A and B are shown apart, each in its own frame.
Chain A
Amino acid sequence: MKELVAILRAFHQTMRCGVSVWTEPAGGGALRVVAAAPALDGLPPRQSLPDGEGEQLRVRCGDSEMLVARVPGPWHNWVGLGPMAACAADDPERLLAFMVPVVAQQLQAAMEVEAAANELAERYEEINLLYTTSEILGRTVSLGEAARTILKEISETVGARRGAILVHDRVTDTLQAVAALGAASEEIPPIATDDPHSVSARVFRTQQLVQLEADEPTYAPESDYRDGAMLSVPILWTAPDIGLPLGVVNLSGRRSTQSFTAGDHKLVAAIATQIGTAIQNARLVRESLSQQRLLQEMQLAHDLQMRLLPRVTVVAPDAVVAARVVPAESVGGDFYHLFPLAAGRTGVMIGDVSGHGYRAALIMALAMSAAAIHAQATDDPGQMLRAMLASLREELELTEMYISGFYAVLDCNSRVLQYANTGHPHAFVVSVDGAVDRLHALDPPLGMVEDPPSAASREWNSGGDLLVLFTDGISDARDRRGRRLGEKAVLDTIIENRAATPAEIVERVFDMLSLHTGDTPRRDDLTLVITRS
């Protein structure tokens, strides 16, 4: 959303008119601000917002009025211009119509991730869909494709029927058409940047906008998209301290005989800066494509992972659970899951998928979905992990990954804790008197051996005992000098605070952990789940 924020800010500064983007969460819920420049005091009432595509409405927002349009697409997003009282634009309807597709493009990627996560959480058979989605998201949109879209939008906005986006080729030092309106871009000849007759070359060199009037002569290489007056605007990439020229936007063939207005100049200049960013990004991506892909994969995997984790309230009132997952910079495969079962029983799971990156996150998602299905089918933790292994075996073999996992069913009526532990190193029951009982691995991690997981049970002091589960990221957290935090430090903190609520205990442990690690970068996910039932 960083880019959206930057675009809104640039818009606000250039057009001297505020702009905001709102969203209504899927499945309902309160309207919230996605981004706004400047910040607004309030939100408009949901029922006042337009629902039809292309419809623009003036709605009350706090003490002022805003001009609002719905962003097309399956999601509920709106763009609002204003407050109108402080908007200097003389044609806000046209500006809003221009902004809607810009915002739509920005929101799409983010929304697709969210939709994919929802899909995944619902049905794990559709995991392949996610592979596809990630491919699409990870693919770099080609410059030509982006340029064509932008040129089309911008031409409609300023009423130009012809135009071209020329991009500087650093090898040949020429300006080459990547998109054209009213001509085929591949037939437009390149223009040397030192060409003394070309307007485009001059604009590129001077980084200054030029407006050619209808009666000024046409230079042959620019004739394909020239019809009457032509507006030629430099595409700049502005980084701190430098403005790097990357190309030129030419617009011509206005419907009315009038020349381009000062408002058009501003608008096209603002868009040209955006194109500049897009070109620069495309170049950076090309230059480090693999790295970029990797980062995107990781980001996607992260987002997915966090979205899939259940809220701790799903097992209320039978169990009080506090859970926290702090993802590492490189994605790990930590997860936890909670299941309200029949008759006062609660299922609590923690797991860690070996390996990193998108694949680990996928396996984790798969594991969570499989767990959700099988937890409802059996109350026996051993059988549950057995069924999970059966569902995942092929994936695990294929990817050479494994899952260290722990699953417990707490029964607060019969006061029994049943558990299965396949390779999970840190599972404990801390009792009221401070005694710690380690719930050992009964089997190696899922995917490592063929043997079906087994289960064990112990008594469970309802309301008193704490089930403490954490992943190795916590006990292995290093301080500046490379020393591990250690399991004992974690357990000591929990024992000391055992009378507190799970949420407070989790807080204490993470406080202690931050004291230990300081700003040392984390290498692994940190997951802690504390349950009382």
Chain B
Amino acid sequence: MSIEVPNDVRYIESVIGLIQYECRLLDFPSRYCALNLPVALSEALSNAILRGNDDDPEKAVNVSLSATTQSIVIEVRDEGPGFDLEASTHDPADPANLEREDGRGVFLMRALMDRVEQFDDDGNVVRLTIGRP
């Protein structure tokens, strides 16, 4: 399954709704469907829309889902040249970062997914993988 959505953050919730639906169909744990996937995907999508595509309304984001009985893999593809996923990450364990407003996105993706990869394949792709426990 793969869809393209216009480069607008207001579509994030709908896309996540679809993924949650698939997640429940696949009978993954409810926490995965209610927390891990939605939050990680929201991070990946906002990165793609705001950073990868530079909030350009003329662009679009491609989201594809491939699921097996054992794992769910989501790829978020933007049209940008790629951005440094790690550049704006801060360690929340460091008390100095506690009151920062930003910098939790990539940390959350990594904490909530089994694997987060970034590569170039028809555009900049962030791939999220979570396996059945």
Binding site for B on A (CB under 8 A): 354, 400, 402, 404, 421, 423-425, 440-445, 448-449, 472, 475-476, 484, 486-488, 523-524
Q: Name the distance in Å between B24's Cβ and chain A's nearest Cβ.
A: 10
Contact with A along B22-60 (1 / 0, CB 8 A): 000000000000000000000000000000000000111
A449 neighbours in B (Cβ, 8 Å): 11, 14
With CB as the reference atom, state the residue of chain A lying closest to B77.
A425
Q: Name the distance in Å between B94's Cβ and chain A's nearest Cβ.
A: 38
**What 4 pairs between A and B have smallest CB-CB spacing?**
A472-B2, A441-B4, A425-B4, A423-B3
Q: Is B62 an interface residue (CB 8 A)?
A: yes
Partner of B121, one of A440, A444, A448, A486: A486
Q: Name the distance in Å between B63's Cβ and chain A's nearest Cβ.
A: 9
Partner of B11, one of A404, A444, A472: A444
Q: Is the CB–CB distance between A476 and B3 below 8 Å? A: no
Q: Is B71 an interface residue (CB 8 A)?
A: no
Partner of B6, one of A354, A444, A487, A488: A444
A425 neighbours in B (Cβ, 8 Å): 2-4, 62
For the complex, give the distance between the alpha carbons of A444 and B121 in Å: 22
Partner of B1, one of A421, A442, A472, A484: A472
Given A441-B6, A472-B64, A476-B66, answer yes or no on A486-B18 (Cβ-Cβ < 8 Å): no
Q: Is the CB–CB distance between B122 and A400 below 8 Å? A: no
Contact with A along B95-125 (1 / 0, CB 8 A): 0000000000000000000000000011000
A440 neighbours in B (Cβ, 8 Å): 4, 6, 58-60
Q: Is the CB–CB distance between B18 and A402 below 8 Å? A: yes
With CB as the reference atom, state the residue of chain B lying closest to A524.
B1
For the complex, give the distance between the alpha carbons of A241 and B1 in Å: 44
For the complex, give the distance between the alpha carbons of A523 and B69 in Å: 14
B60 neighbours in A (Cβ, 8 Å): 440-441
A472 neighbours in B (Cβ, 8 Å): 1-2, 64
Q: Is B83 an interface residue (CB 8 A)?
A: no
Given A402-B18, A472-B64, A488-B122, answer yes or no on A444-B2 (Cβ-Cβ < 8 Å): no
For the complex, give the distance between the alpha carbons of A475 and B3 in Å: 12
For the complex, give the distance between the alpha carbons of A404 and B62 in Å: 12
Q: Name the distance in Å between A485's Cβ and chain B's nearest Cβ.
A: 10
For the complex, give the distance between the alpha carbons of A445 and B2 in Å: 10
For the complex, give the distance between the alpha carbons of A440 and B77 in Å: 13
Given A440-B58, A440-B59, A440-B60, answer yes or no on A448-B18 (Cβ-Cβ < 8 Å): yes
Q: Name the distance in Å between B12's Cβ and chain A's nearest Cβ.
A: 10
With CB as the reference atom, state the residue of chain A lying closest to B68.
A523
Q: Name the distance in Å between B35's Cβ and chain A's nearest Cβ.
A: 21
With CB as the reference atom, state the residue of chain B lying closest to A483.
B121
For the complex, give the distance between the alpha carbons of A486 and B122 in Å: 7
For the complex, give the distance between the alpha carbons of A242 and B64 in Å: 49
For the complex, give the distance between the alpha carbons of A424 and B59 in Å: 13
Count residues on chain B whose CB falls below 8 Å from chain A CBs. 20
Additional 11 contacts, C-beta under 8 A, given A402-B3, A425-B4, A475-B2: A423-B3, A425-B2, A440-B4, A440-B58, A441-B5, A442-B6, A444-B6, A444-B11, A448-B15, A449-B14, A472-B64
Given A440-B58, A440-B60, answer yes or no on A476-B2 (Cβ-Cβ < 8 Å): yes
Given A449-B11, A449-B14, answer yes or no on A423-B4 (Cβ-Cβ < 8 Å): yes
For the complex, give the distance between the alpha carbons of A441 and B21 in Å: 22
For the complex, give the distance between the alpha carbons of A440 and B5 in Å: 9
A404 neighbours in B (Cβ, 8 Å): 2-4
Contacts A/B (CB < 8 Å), 9 sampled: A354-B1, A423-B4, A440-B59, A440-B60, A442-B6, A444-B5, A445-B3, A448-B11, A448-B17
For the complex, give the distance between the alpha carbons of A524 and B17 in Å: 22
For the complex, give the distance between the alpha carbons of A475 and B60 in Å: 17
Q: Name the distance in Å between B38's Cβ and chain A's nearest Cβ.
A: 16
Given A440-B59, A440-B60, A487-B122, answer yes or no on A424-B4 (Cβ-Cβ < 8 Å): yes
With CB as the reference atom, state the residue of chain A lying closest to B10.
A449
Q: Name the distance in Å between B6's Cβ and chain A's nearest Cβ.
A: 6
For the complex, give the distance between the alpha carbons of A443 and B15 in Å: 12
For the complex, give the distance between the alpha carbons of A484 and B121 in Å: 9
B18 neighbours in A (Cβ, 8 Å): 354, 402, 448
For the complex, give the distance between the alpha carbons of A193 and B4 in Å: 65
With CB as the reference atom, state the residue of chain B lying closest to A440.
B60
Q: Is the CB–CB distance between A475 and B6 below 8 Å? A: no
Q: Name the distance in Å between B2's Cβ and chain A's nearest Cβ.
A: 4
A523 neighbours in B (Cβ, 8 Å): 66
Q: Name the distance in Å between B79's Cβ and chain A's nearest Cβ.
A: 9
For the complex, give the distance between the alpha carbons of A449 and B2 in Å: 17
For the complex, give the distance between the alpha carbons of A448 and B20 in Å: 13
A441 neighbours in B (Cβ, 8 Å): 3-6, 60
Q: Name the distance in Å between B8's Cβ and chain A's nearest Cβ.
A: 9
B11 neighbours in A (Cβ, 8 Å): 444, 448-449
For the complex, give the distance between the alpha carbons of A425 and B3 in Å: 6
Interface residues of B in 58-94 (CB under 8 A from A): 58-60, 62, 64, 66
For the complex, give the distance between the alpha carbons of A156 and B42 in Å: 71
For the complex, give the distance between the alpha carbons of A449 and B21 in Å: 15
